[in-house]
Amino acid sequence: MIDRYLTPDMKELWSEASRYRAWLKVELSALRVQAEIGEVPPSAYQDLLPLSEADPLDEAFAVRVAEIESVTRHDIVAFTTALTERYGDPARFIHHGLTSTDVVDTAQNLLLDEALTTVMADAEALRAVCRAQAVTYKHTPTIGRTHGIHAEPMTFGLKFLNWMTTLDRDLERLSAARGRVRVVMLSGSVGTYAHVSPQVEEQVAAAWGWQPAPVTNQTLARDRHAEVLSALAIFGTTLEKISVEIRHLQRSEVREAMEPFGKGQKGSSSMPHKKNPILTENVTGMARLLRGYLVTALENVPLWHERDISHSSAERVILPDATALASYATRRLAGVLEDLVVFPDRMLKNLNDLGGLVFSQRVLHLLIDDKQLSREAAYEIVQRSALRSWETGEGLRELLAADPENPLSDQELGEAFDLAWYLREVDHIYGRFGL
């Protein structure tokens, strides 16, 4: 991922040095159990652990691995060679009985677990912003739109409440996907445990609070990773859904809400008046990338026989990029919503701009319920005046009052055009969430 869209914590997590530290954690965890059960001498772990703690793997180590790999063309061989150079003879039992994918896949799960934990924390923070704004704008009237057209009154807070509950589902999916990769695979070549006891895998998993992979070949099944990318892609659609709404509300002819615009910010190189929704447009683009990464993850699931590495090159890109982008986009959107500029007066003006057309359903029901008209007859009366209102700009209430076929009195029409009536159940909806 380019630095422009990398948070400092994600940049560090997915660095080469961090990846090698994860590899070493897997190797040391396996070595500890192997020493305990007698597969290697006890000193193998006892001598190496303090060396690794006193001299942790850093960027210089990553550079050395790259130099060795340029010759060996094998990353794990380069890694173990560099470990021997760094720690000497105590490193000779590293990778005993294991195969490359045991280390790479299990360590990758460690990194994915941490990355997803970060993304989930970001999602929780975004949810908190939505909750707070839902409360702030709980009773702020605005017009609800269907097909982009004015429909009926609602409150601005209900938008945030909807987003909050969508994020709840996203968090459930992300948590389930994170659980799917919290598995340890240390089964050796083609997954038979021929050179390493199943106890190693089981005890390492128990020490981490994870699960041992119940059966593998020489790779972890990539449906696990596809599930992660699926959860991230769906999460991205939530971020995009919110962003698209903000972009629509910021349009000049709507202008009900807008992104914060900082001091010294410029909206255009040529038009000084411009204030553009650049932050939410940016999030929209990131959501498209997240969906694209999912396609690659799905294509990584079918591999040849017990192992090939066609997935490996793709995962070096899509896993860091997807988690890093999700984190960055979520933080960016949380900032937008927290500092959102809202125009309640403009919302009310827009709500009333169509001369009362948005109250047409209430009139329809009064004709049916109180005046005992058939639905078809009632609909004809209301639609006739509504269509004329669309064409002429005359108020719907006035047109209905002048219609000789309309049996509703002025008082009854007043009831039909009562904004508070449309919003009377908002408290009930919020009560479902204890708000």
Distance CA 389, CA 344 (A): 25
Given its phi and psi angles, is residue 58 left (phi above 0), alpha (psi -120 to 50 degrees) or beta?
beta
Element (H, E) at 324: helix 310-338
- Catalytic residue check, 268: yes
CB 34 within 8 A of CB 186: no
Distance CA 200, CA 187 (A): 9
For the chain, the distance separating the N- and C-terminal CA atoms, rounded to the nearest angstrom, is 40
CB 34 within 8 A of CB 200: yes
Which burial class, exposed, middle or buried, applies to 38 when counting CB atoms under 10 A from its CB (0-12, 13-18, 19+)? Answer: exposed
Give the 3-state secondary structure of residue 44.
Answer: helix
Q: Which of 147, 273, 305, 428 is catalytic?
A: 147
* Main-chain dihedrals φ then ψ at residue 258, nearest 5 degrees: -155, 155
For the record, the structure tokens of 314 come out as 């793709």
Beta strands 257-258 and 341-342 are antiparallel
Q: Which of 43, 268, 310, 374 is catalytic?
A: 268
- Catalytic residue check, 29: no
Q: Which residues carry out catalysis?
A: 147, 268
